[in-house]
Amino acid sequence: MTRALWALGVLVQLGVLALVVWQARRLAGWLSPRVRGRVGTGVALALLALVATTVAGLPLGVFRHSWNRRYGLSEQGYLAWLGDRAISLGLTALLLTIAVAGALFLAGRLGSRWWVAAAPALVALGVGYVVIQPVVVQPLFNRFEPLPDTELAREVERLGDEIGVRVESVQVADASRRTTAANAYVAGLGPTRRVVFYDTALDGRFTDDELASLAAHELAHVERNHLWKGLAWFALLALPGLALVAWGTERRGGLRDPALVPLALLLALVAILLTQPVANAVSRVYEAEADWIALEATDDPKSSIGLTVRFSLTGLGVPDPPAWARIMLSTHPPGINRIAMAEAYASGSWQTASRFTPSGSSTNAP
**What value does the mean pLDDT of the chain take?**
90
Identify whether residues 129 and 242 lie together within a single domain.
Answer: yes
* pLDDT score of 347: 87
Gap between the Cα atoms of 275 and 159, Å rounded: 35
Asked whether residue 35 falls in the same domain as residue 123, the answer is yes
Our CA angle for 227, 289, 302, nearest 5°, is 125
Task: Write the pLDDT tens digit of every residue in 141-194.
Answer: 999 999 999 999 999 999 999 999 988 889 999 999 889 999 999 987 777 788
- pLDDT at residue number 354: 52
What range does the domain containing 255 cover?
2-139+227-275
308 shares a domain with 265: no
Q: Indicate whether 174 and 26 sit together in one domain.
A: no
Compute the residue count for the chain.
366
- CA 226 vs. chain centroid, Å, equals 13
| Domain containing residue 170: CATH number | 3.30.2010.10
247 with 113: CB under 8 angstroms? no
Q: Is residue 91 part of a domain?
A: yes
- Residue 43 sits in the same domain as residue 133: yes
Q: What is the pLDDT of residue 256?
A: 93
Residues 115 and 61 in one domain: yes
In a domain? residue 192 = yes
99 within a domain of the structure (yes/no)? yes
Residue 360's pLDDT is: 39
Indicate the helix (H) or strand (E) that contains 67: helix 37-70
Percent of the chain with pLDDT over 70: 95
Q: What is the pLDDT of residue 212?
A: 95
Asked if residue 224 lies in contact with residue 290, where contact means CB atoms within 8 angstroms, the answer is yes
SS3 at position 301: helix
178 and 217: one domain?
Answer: yes
Are 128 and 254 in a shared domain? yes
Domain-ending residue, one of 239, 259, 275: 275
With a cut of 50, say whether residue 365 has pLDDT above it.
no
For residue 2, pLDDT beyond 90: no
pLDDT tens column, 42-65: 999 999 999 999 999 999 999 999
173, with CB counted inside 10 A (0-12, 13-18, 19+), is buried
**What is the phi-psi region of residue 253: left when phi exceeds 0, alpha when psi lies from -120 to 50, beta otherwise?**
left
Whether residue 307 is found in the same domain as residue 270: no
Question: Same structural domain for residues 153 and 84?
Answer: no
Q: Are residues 245 and 134 in the same domain?
A: yes
Q: What percent of the chain has pLDDT above 90? A: 74
Q: What are phi and psi of 140, to 5 degrees?
A: -70, -25
**Closest among 283, 290, 284 to 186, alpha carbons compared:** 290
Q: What is the pLDDT of residues 230-250, one digit of tens each?
A: 999 999 999 999 999 999 999
The helix (H) or strand (E) run that includes residue 186 is: strand 184-187
State which amino acid sits at residue 112.
S
| The model scores a pTM over 0.85 | yes
Q: With contact defined as beta carbons under 8 Å apart, do 76 and 180 qualify?
A: no
Question: How crowded is residue 331: how many other Cβ atoms within 10 Å of its Cβ?
Answer: 14
Q: Cα separation of 304 and 292, whole Å?
A: 10
Which region among 27-41, 207-221, 303-317, 351-365 has the lowest average model confidence (pLDDT)? Answer: 351-365
- Residue 273 per-residue DSSP state: H
Using alpha carbons, list the distances in angstroms from residue 315 to 180, 205, 231. Answer: 8, 12, 28
pLDDT of residue 361: 35
pLDDT tens sequence across 68-106: 999 888 889 999 999 999 999 999 999 999 999 999 999
The secondary structure element, H or E, covering residue 173 is strand 169-173
Burial (CB count within 10 angstroms: exposed 0-12, middle 13-18, buried 19+), residue 41: buried
133 and 149 share one domain: no
**Domain count of the chain?**
3
Nearest one of 56, 57, 34 to 44, comparing CA atoms:
34
Q: Which DSSP symbol is given to 189?
A: S
Contact (Cβ atoms closer than 8 angstroms) between residue 293 and residue 163: yes
